[in-house]
Structure 1
Amino acid sequence: MSRRTPRIFAATLAVAALALGACAEKTADEPAASGSSATASYPVTVGSLTLDKRPEKIISLSPTATEMLFAIGAGPQVSAVDDQSNYPADAPKSDLSGFQPNAEAIAGKSPDLVVLANDTNKIVDQLGKLKIPVYLTPAAITLDDSYRQITELGTLTGHADQATDVASRMKDDIAKLVKDLPQRAEKLTYYHELGPELYSVTSKTFMGSLYSQVGLANIADPADADGKNGGYPQLSQEFIVKANPDFVFLADSKCCQQNADSVKARSGWAGLTAVKNNQVVPLDDDIASRWGPRVVDLLRVIIDAVAKVPA
């Protein structure tokens, strides 16, 4: 489990068990739509969190939250991000960990807001005792969860208008992408690979919900019908070969150098429909493990691959 993808998978699975972009590149890189951040009135309340003034030293310990904050125009207020936040490139990366957050290290940076993906080691309570406000952004299960987190971050940071605009553009872009998909008498099937160890996702996960929007059937669903794996079952070579998916989507192309050739070389995989029809699709590992604005980019890759198959 020393490789990058299994670590990401382990963290994602833990979140799933606990809680259960081209909006694109420009969404994060270009200034968000003009808004009233300078005149936003405080205090503001989201859930049980109330901020008396606009936060100016935000620490993000979630790569997804980092992308969201920069997308809505709150980037200048972010003083530090965790060691896995690599987008956008100019995010102030630090040695802070989101997987094993350390309250003392976080407090040492004097934040006025900390954004976390999960409450590992009861870090929320630890920071609460230090009077440090915390906003949790747990792993999304649906796109609505993603939209809600974006708009709530907008409210907290004084960028409500920009956040609403980002969420609206995501919805519009996704609707346009899905609208033109051909109707099929029988659904095409897919296997989504988290790592070479053959961990996958079911339709009950955020990633699975995206494939469902595209009209694809998930071969992994029967492997976790009882939900005991939290939507992230480990499949076997035999299971996948027998299921014979129409598509293989690789979310381990960067971390583990998986590609069409490496998949074809696996025992029994050369005969898969996905392999024979050149429908092994590499995904960006980072985007495929997050639920921020770049999910539009991810859907575009998936839809472009599906659209090539005659209805």
Structure 2
Amino acid sequence: MSRRTPRLLAATLAVAALALGACAEKADDKPSAGTAAAAYPVTVGALTLDKRPEKIVSLSPSATEMLFAIGAGPQVSAVDDQSNYPADAPKSDLSGFQPNAEAIAGKNPDLVVLSNDTNKIVDQLGKLKIPVYLTPAATTLDDSYAQITDLGTLTGHADQAADVASRMKDDIAKLVKDLPQRTDKLTYYHELGPELYSATSKTFIGSIYGMVGLTNIADPADADSKNGGYPQLSQEFIVKADPDFVFLADSKCCQQNADSVKARSGWSGLTAVKNNQVVTLDDDIASRWGPRVVDLLRVIIDAVAKVPA
């Protein structure tokens, strides 16, 4: 991200990326499809909502995508400045990276969805009697499914949330089912930014590549776990590792592509470059753990399928 500095990426992916108001439904308001049977109060973890939230503030792009996917979009009154999908999400100048309790409270939310507790924002909002649901950066697909399920429960869309999670599981199972068995595993380098920060197998994005059977060249660089799964690699390290694939999650923020990679010192001889296996990803999809992870997996599998087993 230009937003995609390694720090922001971590905030969005692995350390880091909403609010609902206390308005009761008007008598003439009809609940959206699938919500009629929802009974309140509902409890998720330590959070209990007495009524269906109608003014949700989402300060996590991943949570925003989840909310709209499960049919709770009409209940979302504001999203953070990085939530750009879907296009009709009510974008605001609220920040998920540096959340401001006063600004959030100004939206009169009855639920705020956050991806992390920066600046002890949960405690600040609690003092204002504003309910908060945390959706920490996922490390596994099960984390994603759990967050989708919880959001469905909280918003009165439990059935739709179950359907979304089920479709994701089915789509992913179909995508990986016919992957060819390889004697030698293909290797890859996943780039978060031109500064050569990457993500290891223990991160959410790393787990997606792992489903495809790829070997991550960044793993040895984070063996001591001091980098939280996001080590900064060197030119020499990458050239020596000679990955079969280079996946660029900085194509939008930083205009990286196959040509810019080939122009880097020593990179023209990489197997990935010589075999035209430099793959540009959508920065946003590659940094989020919502329903579009299926699209990310499809791009990766399509690229790998072109290599003979």
TM range (shorter): over 0.9
Question: How far does residue 47 in structure 1 lie from its aligned partner after superposition?
Answer: 0.3
Tell me which protein shows more helix as a share of its residues.
1
CA distance in 2, matches of 1:247, 1:15: 24
2:183 equivalent to 1:185: yes
SS in 2 for 1:192: strand
Q: Are the equivalent residues in 2 in contact too, given 1:146–1:291 (CA < 8 A)? A: yes
* Structure 1: distance between partners of 2:44 and 2:213: 34
Alpha-carbon distance, 1:283 to partner: 0.1
- Alignment deviations for residues 59-81 of structure 1 (CA, whole Å, 9 cap, x no partner): 00000000000000000000000
Query: Does the aligned pair in 1 maintain the 2:59–2:95 contact within 8 Å?
Result: yes
Other-structure match for 2:29: none
Secondary structure at the counterpart of residue 80 of structure 1: strand
Matched, 1:11 2:43: no
Q: How does 1:41-80 map to 2 (within 5 A)?
A: 41-80=39-78
Matches within 5 A, 1:218-297: 218-297=216-295
Give the structure 1 partner of residue 38 of structure 2: 40
Whether the aligned pair in 2 keeps the contact of 1:35 and 1:161 (CA below 8 Å) is: no
Instruction: Flag the 1:238–1:290 CA change in 2: closer, same or farther, 3 A.
Output: same
Per-residue CA deviations over 1:42-73 (Å, capped at 9, x if unaligned) read: 00000000000000000000000000000000
Q: Structure 1 274/206 Cα, relative in aligned 2: closer, same or farther at 3 Å? A: same
Q: Separation in 2 of the partners of 1:95 and 1:16?
A: 21
The residue identity in structure 1 corresponding to 2:2 is R
Moved over 2 A (4+): 11-19
Residue in 1 aligned with 2:20? Answer: none
Q: 1: CA distance between counterparts of 2:156 and 2:2?
A: 38
The reply on whether 1:203 has 2:201 as its aligned counterpart is yes
Q: What letter is aligned with 2:287?
A: S
CA contact (8 A) 2:12 2:288 kept: no
Query: Matched residues in 1 for 2:33 and 2:275: separation?
Result: 48
Q: Distance in 2 between matches of 1:300 and 1:18?
A: 25
Does the C-alpha gap of structure 1 residues 231 and 151 become closer, same or farther in structure 2, counting only changes over 3 Å?
same
Maintained 8 Å contact 2:9/2:192: no
Q: Secondary structure at the match of 1:186?
A: coil
Contact 1:46 1:156 in 2 (8 A): yes
2:123 aligns to what? 125
Give the distance between the partners of 1:219 and 1:110, measured in 2 at CA.
47
Give the letter aligned to residue 13 of structure 1.
A
> Structure 1 residues 16, 276: closer, same or farther in 2, change over 3 A?
closer
In percent, how many aligned pairs have the same letter? Answer: 87
Matched residues in 1 for 2:261 and 2:14: separation? 29
Query: What is the TM-score with the length of structure 1 in the denominator?
Result: 0.92
**SS of alignment partner, residue 36 of structure 2:** helix
1:109 is aligned to: 107
Per-residue deviation, 1:3: 2.8
Distance 2:85 2:181 in 1: 35
SS at match of 1:118: coil
Partner residue, 1:23: none
Aligned length: 294
TM-score, normalising length: structure 2: 0.93
Q: Is the 8 A contact 1:15 1:139 kept in 2?
A: yes
C-alpha displacement of 1:18: 5.8
Partner residue in 1 for 2:147: 149
Letter in 2 for 1:143: L
Segments of structure 2 that go 5 or more residues without pairing to the other structure are: 17-31
Q: Distance in 2 between matches of 1:14 and 1:255?
A: 16
Question: Following TM superposition, by how much is the alpha carbon of 1:16 offset from its aligned partner in structure 2, in angstroms?
Answer: 7.1
| 1:30 counterpart residue number | none
Cα distance in 1 for partners of 2:136, 2:43 equals 18
Superposition CA RMSD, Å: 1.4
- Report how far residue 226 of structure 1 moved: 1.1
Q: 2 CA distance for matches of 1:279 and 1:120?
A: 38
- Cα distance change on mapping 1:15 and 1:68 into 2, 3 Å: closer
Q: Distance in 1 between matches of 2:106 and 2:283?
A: 32
Contact 2:64/2:79 (<8 A) preserved: yes
Work out the CA distance in 1 between the residues paired with 2:105 and 2:123.
Answer: 13
Asked if structure 2 preserves the Cα contact closer than 8 Å seen for 1:35 and 1:162, the reply is: no
